[in-house]
Amino acid sequence: MTAIAYRRADIDGFNVFYREAGRVGAPKLLLLHGFPSAGHMFRDLIPKLSDRFHIVAPDLPGFGQSDLPDRGQFAYTFENIARVMARFTERIGFERFAVYVFDYGAPTGFRLALAHPERISAIISQNGNAYEEGLSDGWNPIRAYWQDASPANREALRALLSREATIWQYTHGVPEASAVSPDGYSLDDYYMNRPGAQEVQLDLFRDYRNNVALYPEFQAYFRTHRPRFLAVWGKNDPFFLPTGAEAFKRDLPQAVVRYFDTGHFALETHADEIAAAITEFLE
């Protein structure tokens, strides 16, 4: 059985919850989750890799068991989230590591790479986008909010935070929906309904435009530093298209791209296959 420790780190007064497994001294692997989830999305992946890697999976600020301070005390932007995560890696002694990025974890992890390229040994992107052609039409309501931050446009996005929308994210594009455990989306829905959590998510929808604005800088980082790169992509993702996965090859010709017949939350159905791809790639 895999021993997973559940820990908390004080990052300049901000409480970050994280999962840790594997042998200290083994190659380090940082797992960064996406919306609307938390580190529990890696519950199936961690045991399959912990015999080879020292793994840490934090809950991002405002997500899961990490602190959810009032919006007046903490500005919920991806820049601030990445700043906390950078300090977190320093706090736990991750001087150099491979990073697995998914969804919101991508702009967080790519910011870490921009700020500290010497720390990144490799990148695994699971439906973590860095190219405009990777954004589907599913982003149109959020794009409308970027262009006009009216109360009406903000309120229109609240439907994306419902239990039904979360379940849809997990099951859309999955050949057999009964293969998706309700555990993940039920826990996500619980966290989403904490006091203040939905307003935080609406703030992040608004701020996501700054991630898109940084795409040219992310791409320049890829060309300049040439990190080892693996894309493992649920090809039926309604938000991040396979063209976004292929686009990495434009700046990283040696990138490895693997597709799986599943949706956005590919680990729910293909944890075995993705673990095998990561092991082959990193070893």
Q: Catalogue all structural domains in the chain, each as residue range(s) with its CATH number.
A: 4-282 (3.40.50.1820)
- Catalytic residue among 33, 40, 54, 264, which? 264
pLDDT of residue 217: 98
Structure tokens at 6: 């559940």
Residue 225 annotated in active site: no
What is the C-alpha R_g of the chain?
17
What pLDDT score was predicted for residue 283?
83
Token output for 121: 């040994």
Those residues whose C-beta lies under 8 Å from the C-beta of residue 5, and which sit 6 or more positions away, are 19, 20, 21
For the chain, report the end-to-end CA distance as a whole number of angstroms.
22
Stretches in the chain below the pLDDT threshold 70 = 1
> For residues 64 and 37, what is the distance between their CA atoms, to the nearest angstrom?
7
Contact predicate 8/15, CB 8 Å: yes
Buried b (16+ CB within 10 A) or exposed e, 182-208: eebbebbbebbeeeebbebbbbbbbbb
Backbone angles phi, psi at 38, to 5 degrees: -160, -170
**Is residue 204 classed as helix, strand or coil in its secondary structure?**
helix
pLDDT in tens, 219-254: 999 999 999 999 999 999 999 999 999 999 999 999
Question: Any idea what the Cα angle at residue 104 is, between residues 51 and 212, rounded to 5°?
Answer: 135
This model's pTM is above 0.75:
yes
